[in-house]
C-alpha cells in the first residue's frame, strides 16, 4: 500500500478491500476497474524485468490480432536468488505466434508474471466460476479460445517459488485437481468459434486428460501422497496407454503399490549396477 500511494501519478489508482476478498475476487475487481487498453497482473512476491513493458507493447502494436503476450521467466527463491535462468520447454528457443489452446489444455506452461492481454480479452473471461482454486490457467485457457497468443523468447519476469506458494498449497490439498477438471469440462462442454479449433480440441481430448492426470500423479508422488499418486497414474494410463512404456511412470506406479522402501532399494541397485559390471 505504501509503495502504491507513493506514485505521484494520477492514473495510478489504489483500491483496498476492507475485508480480504480472496485472490480471485480481488483480481476480478481489478479487471473490471481497469481503463487502459492493456492489462497486466503480478503477485506481490514476483518481479518484472526492466524491459518488460517495452517488449510486450511492441508486439501488441505490430500484431493487432494478438490477444495476449507473454515471455519466459527465471525462478527465484525466498531471498531473490535466481535458481533457474529459464523455464520454457515448449517453444524451442524461438518467438511464437499462434493459437495455443490445445497445448494449454494439456499443461499450464504460461507463467503468470509475464502475461499481459488486451482489456477486452480479460473481460471476456468473466465471471470466474465460483470455487476455483486458481485463476491463471483459467484466464489463459479462456482467452486462447478466442485469440492468438505471442510468446517472446526472453526472460521478462522473475517467479518466486517457496513453500507457501499458492500452487504448492492447492496441489497438496487437492483443490487444484478438482478445479482442473471443472475447467476441462467447461471447455469440452462448449463449441469453439475459431475456425478449425473445435476439431483440434476434440482430437486431443484423451491426450489432454492423460497429460493432466500424469502431472497430478507426479506432484502427489513428490509430496508422498501415494494413494492419490497411484489413482492418477492409473487414470493417466487409461487415457494414454503409451505411458506404460515410460520407465519413470512405471517405477513410480510400482512404488505406490509395493511401498517406498522397496522402491528406493531397487533404485539404488539400478544406480550401482554399472559399477558392479566393471
Q: What percentage of the chain reaches a pLDDT higher than 70?
A: 95
In which band, very low, low, confident or very high, does the pLDDT at 163 lie, cut at 50, 70 and 90? low
pLDDT at 109 over 60: yes
**Domain 2-203 CATH superfamily:** Spore Coat Polysaccharide Biosynthesis Protein SpsA; Chain A (3.90.550.10)
What integer pLDDT is reported at residue 276 of this predicted model?
47
Helix (H) or strand (E) segment spanning residue 106: helix 101-106
Q: Compute the distance between CA of residue 278 and CA of residue 262 in angstroms, rounded to an integer.
A: 25
Give this prediction's pTM: 0.89
Map residue 83 onto helix, strand or coil: strand
In which band, very low, low, confident or very high, does the pLDDT at 99 lie, cut at 50, 70 and 90? very high
pLDDT at 277 over 50: no
Q: Compute the distance between CA of residue 114 and CA of residue 111 in angstroms, rounded to an integer.
A: 6
Burial class (CB in 10 A: 0-12, 13-18, 19+), 93: exposed
Residues 150 and 59 sit within 8 Å (Cβ to Cβ): yes
Q: Compute the distance between CA of residue 157 and CA of residue 72 in angstroms, rounded to an integer.
A: 7
* pLDDT (tens digit per residue) in 219-237: 999 999 999 999 999 999 9
In which band, very low, low, confident or very high, does the pLDDT at 278 lie, cut at 50, 70 and 90? very low
In which band, very low, low, confident or very high, does the pLDDT at 198 lie, cut at 50, 70 and 90? very high
* pLDDT (tens digit per residue) in 257-274: 998 887 777 777 766 655
Amino acid at each position: 500500500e505504501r509503495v502504491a500511494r507513493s506514485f505521484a501519478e494520477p492514473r495510478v489508482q489504489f483500491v483496498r478491500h476492507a475485508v480480504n476478498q480472496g485472490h480471485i475476487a480481488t483480481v476480478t475487481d481489478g479487471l473490471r476497474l481497469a481503463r487502459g487498453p492493456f492489462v497486466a497482473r503480478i503477485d506481490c512476491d514476483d518481479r518484472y524485468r526492466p524491459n518488460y513493458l517495452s517488449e510486450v507493447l511492441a508486439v501488441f502494436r505490430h500484431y493487432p490480432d494478438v490477444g495476449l503476450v507473454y515471455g519466459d521467466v527465471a525462478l527465484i527463491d525466498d531471498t531473490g536468488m535466481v535458481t533457474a535462468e529459464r523455464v520454457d520447454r515448449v517453444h524451442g528457443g524461438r518467438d511464437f505466434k499462434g493459437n495455443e489452446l490445445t497445448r494449454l489444455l494439456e499443461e499450464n506452461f504460461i507463467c503468470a508474471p509475464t502475461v499481459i492481454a488486451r482489456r477486452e480479452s480479460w473481460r471476456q473471461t468473466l465471471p470466474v466460476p465460483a470455487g476455483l482454486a486458481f485463476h491463471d490457467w483459467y484466464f489463459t485457457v479462456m482467452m486462447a479460445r478466442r485469440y492468438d497468443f505471442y510468446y517472446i523468447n526472453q526472460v521478462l519476469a522473475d517467479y518466486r517459488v517457496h513453500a507457501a506458494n499458492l500452487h504448492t498449497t492447492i496441489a497438496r490439498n487437492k483443490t487444484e485437481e478438482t478445479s482442473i477438471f471443472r475447467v476441462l469440462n467447461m471447455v469440452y462442454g462448449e463449441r469453439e468459434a475459431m475456425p478449425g479449433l473445435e476439431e483440434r480440441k476434440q482430437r486431443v481430448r484423451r491426450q489432454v486428460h492423460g497429460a493432466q492426470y500424469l502431472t497430478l500423479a507426479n506432484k502427489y508422488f513428490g509430496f508422498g501422497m501415494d494413494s492419490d499418486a497411484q489413482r492418477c497414474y492409473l487414470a493417466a494410463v487409461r487415457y494414454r496407454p503409451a505411458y506404460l512404456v515410460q520407465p519413470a511412470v512405471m517405477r513410480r506406479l510400482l512404488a505406490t503399490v509395493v511401498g517406498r522402501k522397496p522402491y528406493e532399494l531397487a533404485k539404488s541397485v539400478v544406480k550401482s549396477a554399472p559399477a558392479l559390471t566393471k
